[in-house]
Structure 1
Amino acid sequence: MDFRRLLDKYKYYTIAVSMIVIIVSVVFLFLFVQKNQKEVSEAERTMTSIISTHSSEAESSSQQLYVDIKGAVKKPGMYEGNANMRVWDAVMLAGGVSDEADTKYVNFSERVVDQMVIYVPKVGEEVQSSTSKADSQNGAMNDTSKVNLNQASESELQNLPGIGQKKAQEIIRYREENGGFKKIEDLKNISGFGEKTFEKLKDLITL
């Protein structure tokens, strides 16, 4: 068999097949590179998100605050904490509750805010309202007939006129991100709480 003649006869087919193979290879290579670039970009975005989250958590946990722990705890007094603490963590700083403590009136899951008074009652002690309140700067207890913006739960906030679940969640989010309300007028800093809404609520809220 004359291979040279055979090659000449089918050389155009050979060239065509070779070109197809080259084109297919280039296309696959391009798709492979694109896929790798996409995966790298997604990995970079994920890493950036993780770093940002950790930075935010670190910044939040570094915010110093002070709480005054009273009542049926082993070591009553003022303690230094941070913005990520709950009432339970603060009570542990005071040595935990004493044997005579009546813990059913204490919300241990509540987030701690600066200048907060945490009061743990004794068994048999009459309790008229929440046992943990934000103290004013002069040390006097706030009016318990009003809703405390820094202490009220989501359901308690919804007892205010015109405050539904979404607005109650916005109030809680604001106080957690800003270390609590400094004055009741800060309520107007939240989207959806304009002057008219504030006027309806100002006599019903406190710090």
Structure 2
Amino acid sequence: MATSKLLKKIVYTGTITLKTGLHIGGTNAALNIGGPDKFVVRNPVNNVPYIPGSSLKGKMRALVEIANGCITYTNRGEAKASEDPNSISGRLFGVATGKDNNRPSRLIVRDAEMDISHPEMFENTDLPYTESKTEVTIDRVTAKANPRTFERVPAGAVFKLNMVLNIFEGEDEQGLKDTVKQAIRLLENDYLGGNGSRGYGQVKIMLDNPEGETLTF
């Protein structure tokens, strides 16, 4: 069995700034009468919203796959992601098929904590660190209005970004780094979380160092 040595880790830190409200769904267990129908995910220890690393990484991967033609469609029109570990997406995000071509992910994406160092930003929000936004859907047959209320993290909120790229011996380091940069650019021109087609989830990502901090061993 071939082995591969870990050569370095490239650490990316920076910020994710919301340009529009963000909704990444959490539990509705604490639903209050008159409150939002859909809640955001929060840290259960301090009740502060955060961006799950799984949400961030999953969106980045999906955008990279779409942009690089890693998505195919069956005769029934069903989308299917590539299982090729040597595809652009597979090299960075890995492939887990249960077969011999498994490849671990090279990118670790941490949960992004909210920066609450400026509490005055949230003085006018109707919920702790968040806002409630009521929307109305119209039944196009009966014209009946169906209101629903979403909890959102408001525009202007900042989250702390932290990602780690593992580089192994014999791998295309520059290619992996270029794919990370591509994923960030694509995300800025798409959306994060839910309801993006209705204006939610536009973000701006700023890296402290675009090339990351290299840790060698």
The structure with more radius of gyration: 1
Q: TM-score, normalised by structure 1?
A: 0.22
Q: TM-score, normalised by structure 2?
A: 0.22
Give the structure with the higher percent strand.
Answer: 2
